[in-house]
Amino acid sequence: MLKKSFLSASVALATLASSAAFAVEHIDLLIKDATVLTMNADKAVYENGVVAVSGNKIVAVGDESLSEAYQAKTVLDVDGDIVMPGLINTHTHASMTVFRSLGDDVPDRLHRYIFPLESQLVSRDMVRIGAQLGNVEMLKGGVTTYADMYYFEDEVAKTVDKIGMRAILGETVIRFPVADAANAEEGIQYALNFIKEYKDHPRITPAFAPHAPYTNTTEVLQKITKLSLEHDVPVMIHLAESERENEVIAERSGGKSPVEYMADIGALTPNLVGAHVINVDEHDIALLKKHDVGIAHNMSANIKSAKGVSPALKMFDDGLRIGLGTDGPMSGNTLSTVDEFNQVAKVHKLVNKDRAAMPPIKVIEMATMGAARALHMEDKIGSLETGKLADIIVIDTKAPNMVPMYNPYSALVYSAYASNVKHAIVDGQLLMQERDILTVDEDKVRQEALQFADKVRETVIASGEEVR
């Protein structure tokens, strides 16, 4: 996986005193001279820190003295740059990159614009082409794990397998006919086949993705809940997101909120990850906590669509499982949670009328351990700790916007661009080096997306809408 140039340009072989009295451990990768943000329970930061990796696992994290204990095949001296857990994007629709910047501010866009467009254009090809581009964008923005909801998720899985990232991929179930299923029952069947195929993949977790409570029947939601517990797979759903959802569910349930309704039908379980979760009150929040539900907080998309601000800070402070997500590229519109940092910190300050609200360290926790907890993966990823999977990113602290750096959390939240991510390691493998992705051909990915975009333009024009 390592390119020759990486070995010669950025890496020096460890030169350890051969006279050392103790036995050195042979490992694969040693990252040194790092500002290590561990994001462990103590939020330990090592100023001249070291991270040791063997195989796909982290074997040690600590200060510079640690480097003497290891003989590594590859030593990466990052010259003071930030080394932190790979970012976890808890909610997106990666394949929709092919539609990005189309009809952005059209009212009732989902029902008037997106669904009709999808009914004509979603195909195995579209899903593959869009996911490829989304993967490249996410990895370049430091996202090492993402949670996706879309169609033909087996195609998304192939792209994730190829680039080397980690993902939870949720196959959509919805009551009307879509590209890969004529109805919800066929959607469930598609998901079951996908789950069977990918259940044992080391980096891919297959999942159910019922679109939302209001776009599925009670029976379907209950069936999915039962199957998810049987197969021990996640369920991802848009939850408490829109006025329309509130109305449909209130009518269906005799005035209940979407969260209350989901609790009543037995669909709130620790396998569930709810995206958005804007329209919730204290009682709803207590229910989500009681049932140990994970939550994706998508600030950028929620304010762009003027849907409002989720009480994410309260949910975080109340100890709920909550992490950052970008939502899809027609909503957010970018796919790195670095792009959320700034907005999450500032908009919560604004709505709380308090500049001390949502400090940078909470934002970074919601991007790492909080997101891992939201996906119930906190035992595997989300922090740099011995025994965890080696999903690690390096942030360039020499870019002018990152200079100087008195507080690395502040620098990340208020100053960093997704493009400041320099290297990315997933499952112990270096996937991006000096912003160059090593596992896929970026130019080819872009060309395929541009070709598909021409088809999108033709389709929009043929439908009588403007390309706007």
Residues 340-379 that bind a copy of itself (CB under 8 A): 342-343, 345-347, 349-350, 352-357, 359-360
User: Is residue 97 within the footprint of a copy of itself (CB under 8 A)?
Assistant: yes
The only residue of 247, 457, 458, 463 in contact with a copy of itself, by rule CB under 8 A: 457
The only residue of 126, 133, 178, 262 in contact with a copy of itself, by rule CB under 8 A: 133
Residue 403 beta carbon to a copy of itself: minimum distance, rounded to whole angstroms: 5
Which residue, 360, 362, 382, 300, is CA-closest to 334? 300
Which residue, 402, 339, 333, 392, is CA-closest to 368? 392
Neighbours of 251 (CB within 10 A): 11
Scanning 70-78, 212-220, 284-292, 336-344 for contacts with a copy of itself by CB under 8 A, the matching segment is 336-344
Buried b (16+ CB within 10 A) or exposed e, 16-39: eeeeeeeeeeebbbbbbbbbbbbb
Which residue, 59, 139, 51, 70, is CA-closest to 426? 139
Residue 134 beta carbon to a copy of itself: minimum distance, rounded to whole angstroms: 8
Residue 228 beta carbon to a copy of itself: minimum distance, rounded to whole angstroms: 33
The torsion angles phi and psi of 84, rounded to 5 degrees, stand at: -145, 170
- Kindly state the tokens that stand for 4: 């020759």
Residue 293 beta carbon to a copy of itself: minimum distance, rounded to whole angstroms: 25
Scanning 81-89, 148-156, 159-167, 337-345 for contacts with a copy of itself by CB under 8 A, the matching segment is 337-345
Distances (CA, A) of 402 to 150, 399, 405, 415, 447: 36, 5, 6, 6, 32
Neighbours of 152 (CB within 10 A): 24
State which of positions 401-420 bind a copy of itself (CB under 8 A).
401, 403-407, 410-411, 414-415, 417-420
User: Is residue 440 within the footprint of a copy of itself (CB under 8 A)?
Assistant: no
The only residue of 140, 223, 321, 423 in contact with a copy of itself, by rule CB under 8 A: 140
User: Is residue 446 within the footprint of a copy of itself (CB under 8 A)?
Assistant: yes
Residue 144 beta carbon to a copy of itself: minimum distance, rounded to whole angstroms: 16
Residue 450 beta carbon to a copy of itself: minimum distance, rounded to whole angstroms: 6
User: Is residue 83 within the footprint of a copy of itself (CB under 8 A)?
Assistant: no
Contacts of 375 (CB under 8 A, 6+ apart): 88, 90, 145, 147, 168, 234, 273, 294, 323
Scanning 1-9, 64-72, 201-209, 400-408 for contacts with a copy of itself by CB under 8 A, the matching segment is 400-408
User: Is residue 467 within the footprint of a copy of itself (CB under 8 A)?
Assistant: yes
State which of positions 102-121 bind a copy of itself (CB under 8 A).
102-105, 107, 109
Which residue, 84, 275, 76, 313, is CA-closest to 168? 275
Cβ–Cβ < 8 Å for 91, 298: yes
- Kindly state the tokens that stand for 24: 């050195």
The only residue of 27, 136, 168, 295 in contact with a copy of itself, by rule CB under 8 A: 136
**CA separation for the pair 225, 219 (Å, rounded):** 10
